[in-house]
């Protein structure tokens, strides 16, 4: 059907992993006849979870898109990941939505992932409705889920429907506005018949209807007055005020059903069309003029200059890179040129594409609210703004979540290191929460991400899309070595006499420790003519090379000063090489006598945890030789600031997850180096000698 922007609804489904978002999206596509059969995640027949990594794990890893027609409207579905490893994609993809359906599992209630995705929706000021799913499952409890949701998010619960029966006796739902019952078959067809409300439910229905109306009339003073005077409110009045309340974020409607059995899905789709805003009703989008602080507003109208935000990229081995954009203002046609305001570059593109699960179809034009993809843009990355060149604007994109765990990544096949690096670079365009860097100290390539599954799935994707196999291993801790005391007048003579020209050089050094982070200092303090000055650079070079590997465990040596004050040379046998060797050997001899010691990197951490997990997390930090430096409270959470040795937190993401049940998060950065305690230093030295 030909659609106008006012008939468009951009809806994101968000939830804790495993709550049934994708199954709900499949049911909606089937009801809207966008698919001919009900796709199932458990059978691997889902239209939206189509990547092999998703089918294998039965979870959504990357946000998928599809659309369907419903009652003269088009619903654009955005099916987001719920697993903590992939929530960064959810956060970025919500930039394309105008409303959010929060899916809650009636058997397990509100989980930590639900809190995280709710916070993303709040951040972007998106209206929300709540669908309580899996009423047909064992141990499902609709009222408990309602209560938990209200308590966790501090909202007034407003169920619009109540379930008839539960578990295997779940047969339908009661509509509290129209006071009707809808009875479903359990055949997945989505069809229902209208009936009277079961007699045994009359009390619970009138109690919840009262609560619902009290919450809805708060939106309108006029209706509130009418209600308080005891007048009967019409269905039209209730629905109109409910719609106002949902759009303004004052009312959070709750619906219920079963996605897998396709029960209650019709009613959800009706409410989406009726109560979620069209793109035209969203506030004007605010951005800035490139190169200045001036605020630019773009109304969602076809007549405004074109502007869109790139909220996601997909690395497609066949189509090349697909760039997904949400149009905020103006229109755009296939085969034209866009201006990238962030890169100050013009981008030519061919077809405009609409994503339908793993397939794409082409369209001629796109306008406000449309979510479209274009292939093979050269400069554009996730987070960039595309707009008309003569009236540019830059929108502030949502920031990806910080990475929490790092591994060294290497090629399985010798010699394919470069291919691993360049192919990973392509996946980084697709997933901004991945980071790839080379550690200068250990010369390892470090891949960082949100969690272990995130990095494993990235390596699987690397192999599938680019045919490159990579190994993950624990990151090497970049220890360093230094000295604790000064030694003076250290002398080393290098002398070799084997036929022909010999080698001769002698150097005299004073060696002393420097303050932290001062690096290496070389002082030339020669007097007299014992050593010709042209050999000084060779001595310094010999020292610099020798500093790369210390005598304890072969780690770089830092924070030390060498004073070169005397030596001896030979007219014929002295050479730069001889002095380089002498300097290197003299330094090793000096370090041995200067109380060498190991230094380890200390990380500065901020760990956000719920109050009830505080004691456990603090106890765990003590066990990791951590020092707590301060605490802050942040709503229901506490933020612990601590300094912890890097060696103790290489896999902290996994451990914090298990201590806090997935409710903790942290950020960390390098702070400084400190001496390793003696008993640990021995172990590290022994391990490095084995290597």
Q: Which residues, at least 6 apart from 509, have a Cβ–Cβ distance to it below 8 Å?
A: 490, 562, 563, 564, 565, 586, 587, 590
Pick from 454, 535, 526, 458: nearest CA to 494:
535
Q: Which tokens is 24 given?
A: 């709900």
DSSP codes joined into one string, 11-73 = EEEE-STTSSHHHHHHHHHHHTTSSSS---TTTT--SS--SHHHHHHTS--S-EEEEEEETTE
pLDDT at position 332:
93
Which of 3-7, 52-56, 235-239, 632-636 is least confident? 52-56
The answer to the question of residue 231 being in a domain is no
| Residue 262 Ramachandran class (φ > 0 left, ψ -120 to 50 alpha, else beta) | left
Which of 142-146, 606-610, 621-625 is least confident? 606-610
For 215-223, which contacts have Cβ atoms below 8 Å and span 24 or more sequence positions?
215/156, 215/158, 215/245, 215/251, 216/158, 216/241, 216/242, 216/245, 216/251, 217/241, 218/245, 218/250, 219/244, 219/245, 219/248, 219/250, 219/251, 220/244
Pick from 361, 364, 374: nearest CA to 308:
374
Task: Give yes or no: residues 492 and 516 share one domain.
Answer: yes
User: Which residue has 């029966």 as its token pair?
Assistant: 165
Task: Give yes or no: residues 21 and 137 share one domain.
Answer: yes
Residue 657 pLDDT > 80, yes or no? Answer: yes
* Enclosing H/E stretch for 77: strand 73-79
pLDDT at position 331:
93
Q: The sheet that has 487-496: what strands, in order across it?
A: 487-496, 503-513, 560-568, 520-524
Q: Count of CB atoms within 10 A of residue 199's CB?
A: 6
476 three-class SS: coil
CATH number of residue 425's parent domain: 3.30.70.870
CA atoms within 13 A on the CB side of 45: 10
Q: Decide the pairing of beta strands 128-133 and 99-105.
A: parallel
Distance, in Å, from the CA atom of 638 to the CA atom of 620, rounded to the nearest integer, reads 16
Average pLDDT value for residue range 642-667: 89
Query: Quick one: the chain helix, strand, coil %, rounded to 5?
Result: 30, 30, 35
Task: Give yes or no: residues 143 and 118 share one domain.
Answer: yes
pLDDT at position 1:
37
Query: Contact, 147 vs 118, CB < 8 A?
Result: no
pLDDT at position 2:
46
User: Which residue has 């989980």 as its token pair?
Assistant: 111
CATH number of residue 622's parent domain: 3.30.70.240
pLDDT digits (tens, 9 = 90+) for 297-356: 999 999 999 999 999 998 776 667 889 999 999 999 999 999 999 999 999 998 999 988
Pick from 688, 74, 20, 45: nearest CA to 371:
74
User: Which residue has 């009726």 as its token pair?
Assistant: 274
Query: Contact, 449 vs 387, CB < 8 A?
Result: no
Average pLDDT value for residue range 62-69: 91
pLDDT at position 317:
66
Pick from 399, 432, 450: nearest CA to 124:
399
Task: Give yes or no: residues 296 and 439 share one domain.
Answer: no
Q: Count of CB atoms within 10 A of residue 77's CB?
A: 28
Task: Give yes or no: residues 64 and 187 share one domain.
Answer: yes
The answer to the question of residue 232 being in a domain is no
Distance, in Å, from the CA atom of 470 to the CA atom of 377, rounded to the nearest integer, reads 27
Q: Count of CB atoms within 10 A of residue 655's CB?
A: 16
Query: Final residue of a domain: which of 451, 474, 497?
Result: 474
Task: Give yes or no: residues 269 and 328 share one domain.
Answer: no
Q: Which residues, at least 6 apart from 571, have a Cβ–Cβ distance to it below 8 Å?
A: none
The answer to the question of residue 432 being in a domain is yes
Task: Give yes or no: residues 48 and 92 share one domain.
Answer: yes
The answer to the question of residue 552 being in a domain is yes
* Enclosing H/E stretch for 508: strand 503-513
pLDDT at position 8:
94
Query: Final residue of a domain: which of 594, 624, 639?
Result: 594
Total number of residues shown for the chain: 691
The answer to the question of residue 469 being in a domain is yes
First to last CA, the chain: 67
Task: Give yes or no: residues 275 and 308 share one domain.
Answer: no
DSSP state at residue 594 = S
Average pLDDT value for residue range 69-86: 92
The pTM of the full predicted model, rounded to 2 decimals, is: 0.82
391 three-class SS: coil
Query: Contact, 439 vs 376, CB < 8 A?
Result: no
The answer to the question of residue 615 being in a domain is yes
Distance, in Å, from the CA atom of 410 to the CA atom of 416, rounded to the nearest integer, reads 9
Q: Distances in Å between the alpha carbon of 469 and those of 62, 430, 643? A: 21, 19, 36
Residue 630 pLDDT > 60, yes or no? Answer: yes
Task: Give yes or no: residues 67 and 113 share one domain.
Answer: yes
CATH number of residue 123's parent domain: 3.40.50.300
Average pLDDT value for residue range 170-190: 93
Task: Give yes or no: residues 294 and 312 share one domain.
Answer: yes
The answer to the question of residue 455 being in a domain is yes
Query: Contact, 117 vs 150, CB < 8 A?
Result: no
Tell me the residue ranges of DSSP E strands in 176-334. Answer: 180-184, 192-195, 253-256, 285-288, 295-298, 307-316, 320-329, 332-333
Residue 164 pLDDT > 70, yes or no? Answer: yes
Average pLDDT value for residue range 210-234: 91
pLDDT digits (tens, 9 = 90+) for 444-481: 889 999 888 899 888 988 888 888 888 998 888 989 99
Distance, in Å, from the CA atom of 268 to the CA atom of 273, rounded to the nearest integer, reads 9
Find the domain containing 340 and state its range: 285-387
Burial of 383 (0-12, 13-18, 19+ CB in 10 A): buried
The answer to the question of residue 540 being in a domain is yes
pLDDT at position 501:
77
Task: Give yes or no: residues 424 and 525 share one domain.
Answer: no
Average pLDDT value for residue range 235-262: 94
* Buried/exposed code over 452-473 (b: 16+ C-beta within 10 A; e: otherwise): bbbbbbbbbbbeebbebebebe
Task: Give yes or no: residues 181 and 253 share one domain.
Answer: yes
Pick from 691, 610, 599, 684: nearest CA to 645:
599
Q: Distances in Å between the alpha carbon of 198 and those of 20, 235, 322? A: 28, 21, 52
Q: Count of CB atoms within 10 A of residue 222's CB?
A: 10
Pick from 618, 619, 659, 662: nearest CA to 639:
618
The structural domain count of the chain equals: 5
Query: Final residue of a domain: which of 577, 594, 611?
Result: 594
């Amino acid at each position: 059907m030909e659609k106008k922007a006012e008939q468009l609804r951009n809806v994101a489904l968000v939830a804790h992993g495993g709550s049934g978002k994708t199954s709900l999206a499949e049911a909606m596509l089937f009801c809207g006849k966008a698919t001919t059969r009900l796709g199932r995640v458990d059978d691997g027949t889902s239209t939206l979870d189509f990547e092999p990594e998703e089918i294998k794990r039965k979870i959504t890893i990357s946000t998928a898109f599809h659309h369907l027609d419903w009652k003269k409207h088009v619903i654009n579905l955005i099916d987001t990941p719920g697993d903590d490893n992939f929530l960064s994609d959810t956060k970025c993809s919500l930039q394309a939505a105008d409303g959010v359906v929060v899916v809650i599992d009636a058997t397990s209630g509100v989980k930590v992932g639900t809190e995280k995705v709710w916070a993303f929706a709040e951040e972007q000021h998106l209206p929300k409705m709540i669908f309580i799913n899996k009423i047909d499952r064992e141990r499902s409890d609709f009222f408990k889920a309602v209560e938990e949701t209200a308590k966790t998010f501090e909202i007034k619960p407003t169920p619009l429907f109540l379930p008839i029966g539960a578990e295997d006796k779940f047969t339908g739902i009661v509509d509290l506005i129209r006071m009707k019952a809808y009875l479903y078959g359990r055949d997945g067809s989505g069809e229902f018949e209208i009936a009277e409300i079961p007699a045994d439910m009359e009390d619970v229905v009138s109690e919840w209807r009262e609560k619902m109306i009290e919450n809805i009339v708060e939106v309108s003073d006029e209706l509130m007055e009418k209600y308080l005077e005891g007048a009967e409110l019409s269905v039209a009045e209730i629905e109109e005020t409910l719609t106002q309340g949902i759009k303004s974020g004052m009312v959070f409607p709750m619906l219920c059903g079963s996605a897998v059995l396709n029960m209650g899905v019709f009613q959800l789709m009706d409410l989406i069309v009726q109560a979620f805003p069209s793109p035209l009703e969203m506030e004007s989008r605010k951005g800035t003029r490139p190169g200045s602080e001036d605020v630019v507003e773009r109304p969602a109208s076809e007549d405004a200059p074109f502007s869109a935000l790139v909220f996601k990229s997909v690395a497609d081995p066949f189509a090349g890179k697909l760039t997904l954009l949400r149009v905020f203002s103006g229109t755009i046609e296939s085969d034209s040129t866009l201006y990238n305001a962030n890169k100050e570059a013009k981008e030519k593109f061919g077809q405009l594409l609409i994503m339908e699960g793993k397939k794409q179809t082409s369209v001629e034009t796109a306008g406000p609210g449309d979510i479209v993809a274009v292939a093979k843009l050269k400069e554009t990355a996730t987070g960039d703004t595309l707009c008309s060149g003569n009236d540019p604007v830059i929108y502030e994109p949502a920031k990806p979540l910080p990475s929490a765990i790092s591994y060294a990544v290497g090629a399985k096949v010798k010699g394919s290191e470069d291919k691993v690096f360049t192919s990973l670079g392509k996946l980084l365009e697709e997933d901004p929460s991945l980071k790839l860097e080379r550690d200068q100290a250990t010369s390892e390539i470090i891949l960082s991400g949100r969690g272990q599954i995130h990095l494993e799935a990235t390596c699987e994707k690397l192999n599938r899309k680019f045919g490159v196999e990579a190994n993950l291993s624990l990151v090497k801790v970049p220890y360093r070595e230094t000295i604790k005391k000064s030694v003076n007048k250290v002398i080393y003579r290098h002398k070799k006499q084997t036929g022909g020209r010999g080698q001769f050089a002698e150097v005299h050094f004073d060696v002393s420790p420097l303050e932290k982070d001062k690096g290496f200092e070389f002082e030339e303090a020669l007097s007299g003519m014992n050593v010709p000055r042209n050999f000084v650079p060779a001595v310094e070079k010999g020292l610099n090379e020798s500093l790369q590997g210390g005598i304890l465990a072969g780690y770089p040596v830092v924070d030390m000063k060498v004073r070169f004050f005397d030596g001896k040379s030979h007219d014929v046998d002295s050479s730069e090489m001889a002095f380089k060797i002498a300097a290197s050997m003299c330094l090793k001899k000096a370090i041995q006598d200067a109380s060498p010691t190991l230094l380890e990197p200390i990380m500065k951490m901020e760990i956000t945890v719920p109050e009830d997990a505080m004691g456990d997390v603090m106890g765990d930090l003590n066990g990791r030789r951590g020092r707590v430096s301060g605490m802050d409270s942040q709503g229901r959470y506490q933020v612990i600031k601590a300094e912890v040795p890097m060696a103790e937190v290489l896999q902290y993401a996994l451990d914090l997850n298990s201590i806090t049940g997935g409710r903790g998060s942290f950020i960390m950065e390098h702070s400084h180096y400190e001496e390793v305690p003696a008993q640990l230093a021995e172990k590290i030295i022994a391990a490095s000698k084995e290597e």
